[in-house]
A and B are shown apart, each in its own frame.
Chain A
Amino acid sequence: MGALVVTEGGSALTAFTPPGAGDFDLPPIFGGVTKPMILVVLSVIIIAAYFLISSRKLKIVPSKGQFAAEYIYDFARNGIAREQIGSKDFKPYIPLVLSLFSFVLVNNVFGIIPILQFPTLAHIGYPIALSLLVVYPVYHFVGFKRHGFVGYLKHATVPPGAPLAIYFLLTPIEFLQKFVLNPITLAIRVFAAMFAGHLIILVFTIGGEYLLTQAGGVISKPVSVVSFLFAILMIFVEALIQVVQAYVFAVLSANYIGAALAEDH
Chain B
Amino acid sequence: MKTQILLAAEQAPNPVLPHPSEIILGLVAFLILLFLLWKFAVPRFEKLYEERTAKIEGGIEKAEKAEAEAEEALARYKAQLADAYSEAAKIRDDARLEAERIKEELRAEAQDEAARIIAQGHAALQAQKAQIVAELRAELGRNSVELASRIVGESLEDDARRRGTVDRFLAELGSGNGAGK
Contact = CB atoms under 8 A, between A and B. Distances in A.
Interface stretch (B48-56, B99-107, B123-131, B169-177): B48-56
Contacts of A129: 22-27, 30
A103 B38 contact: no
Contacts of B22: 36-37, 123, 125-126, 129
B34 interface: yes
A73 B31 CA distance: 18
Contact of B45 (A73, A123, A195): A73
A24 interface: yes
Contacts of A95: 34, 37-38, 41-42
B38 to A, nearest CB: 4
Interface residues of B, number: 41
Given A2-B5, A22-B8, A195 B33 contact: no
Interface stretch (A43-51, A108-116, A216-224, A234-242): A43-51
Interface string B45-78: 1111001100100000000000000000000000
B20 to A, nearest CB: 8
A73 B11 CA distance: 44
A55 B41 contact: yes
B42 A40 contact: no
Interface residues on A, range: 35 or more
Interface string A87-125: 000010011101100110000000000000000001111
B36 A128 contact: no
A122 B11 CA distance: 18
Nearest to B2: A2
B44 interface: yes
Contacts of A21: 12-15
Main secondary structure, interface of B, reads: helix
B125 to A, nearest CB: 106
A134 interface: yes
Interface of A: 1-3, 17, 20-22, 24-25, 32, 36-37, 40-41, 43-44, 47-48, 51-52, 55-56, 58-60, 70, 73, 77, 91, 94-96, 98-99, 102-103, 122-130, 133-134, 195
7 contacts: A22-B13, A32-B21, A47-B37, A73-B45, A123-B19, A129-B30, A130-B30
Given A48-B36, A123-B19, A125-B25, 16 more contacts: A17-B8, A36-B22, A44-B30, A48-B32, A55-B40, A55-B44, A70-B48, A94-B46, A95-B42, A96-B38, A99-B30, A123-B22, A126-B22, A128-B26, A129-B22, A134-B27
